[in-house]
């Protein structure tokens, strides 16, 4: 009978003290049976919240490792993975759309809070009324760059909330776009041409 070192207790034990594991190179588990039994007993006594907290802590500490492993597994079986994903999305379309709406709302709330949480012009604080404004009036160009208005929130989080942006409510943002300045702030600049949909932008 061969011998093996348990990676948990570091004891050298006969192979009969280890469970068989076909995925392991040695054909046996890395932990001995007593260590595995002790771990499983301790795990079962934990509450669901404790287990989730422990799992979240592990994922946070090993995020890059986990992502690299998932990418490698995906590319190793890319056609199978794509086929499986397509089937899953078709079967769970409503659920995926609901999850996306929740994530999008959370991203918006996070960004709005980071930039002050209220309209920089009139002080409106209702989240549903608030938007992000490009102070330099280069929003159209930026939206083309990030491929969509909803992607602005994701972009701001990714780039750690850069300057050049402010929170405006829909009314103040639209007024700034249409006449050059929100009425709360005064009259339009001299010579400013009001926005028209047929207007040619140079």
CA dist 106 to 33, 116, 154, 173, Å? Answer: 45, 16, 10, 21
Which one has a higher pLDDT value, 139 or 164? 164
Q: CB-based burial of residue 7 (10 Å sphere; 0-12 exposed, 13-18 middle, 19+ buried)?
A: exposed
Instruction: Looking at the structure, tell me whether residues 33 and 106 fall in a common domain.
Output: no
116, part of any domain? yes
Domain count across the chain? 2
Q: Taking residues 23-52, what's their average pLDDT?
A: 86
105, part of any domain? yes
Secondary structure (DSSP) of 99-167:
HHHHHHHHHHHHHHHHTTSS-TTT----GGGEEEEETTS-HHHHHHHHTSTTHHHHHHHHTTS-SSEEE
2, part of any domain? yes
User: Does pTM surpass 0.85?
Assistant: no
Domain that holds residue 146: 94-185
202, part of any domain? no
Instruction: Looking at the structure, tell me whether residues 35 and 115 fall in a common domain.
Output: no
Per-residue model confidence (pLDDT) at position 193: 58
Which one has a higher pLDDT value, 12 or 183? 12
Q: What is the rounded distance in angstroms from the CA atom of residue 61 to the CA atom of residue 38?
A: 24
81, part of any domain? no
110, part of any domain? yes
176 Cβ neighbours under 8 A, 6+ residues apart: 133, 137, 168, 182
Whether residue 200 has pLDDT greater than 50: no
61, part of any domain? no
Q: Taking residues 92-117, what's their average pLDDT?
A: 93
9, part of any domain? yes
């Amino acid at each position: 009978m061969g011998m093996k070192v348990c990676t948990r207790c570091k004891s050298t034990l006969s192979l009969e003290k280890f469970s068989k594991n076909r995925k392991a190179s040695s054909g046996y588990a890395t932990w001995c049976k007593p260590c595995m039994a002790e771990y499983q007993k301790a795990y079962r006594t934990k509450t669901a919240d404790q287990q989730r907290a422990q799992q979240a802590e592990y994922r946070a500490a090993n995020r890059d490792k986990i992502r690299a492993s998932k990418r490698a597994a995906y590319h190793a079986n890319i056609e199978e993975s794509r086929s499986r994903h397509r089937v899953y999305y078709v079967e769970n379309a409503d659920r995926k759309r609901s999850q996306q709406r929740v994530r999008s709302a959370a991203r918006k709330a996070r960004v709005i809070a980071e930039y002050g949480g209220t309209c920089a012009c009139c002080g409106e604080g209702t989240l549903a009324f608030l938007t992000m404004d490009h102070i330099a009036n280069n929003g159209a160009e930026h939206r083309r760059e990030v491929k969509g208005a909803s992607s602005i929130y994701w972009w701001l989080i990714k780039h750690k909330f850069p300057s050049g942006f402010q929170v405006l409510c829909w009314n103040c943002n639209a007024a700034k776009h249409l006449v050059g300045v929100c009425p709360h702030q005064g009259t339009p600049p001299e010579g400013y041409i009001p926005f028209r949909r047929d207007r040619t932008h140079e």
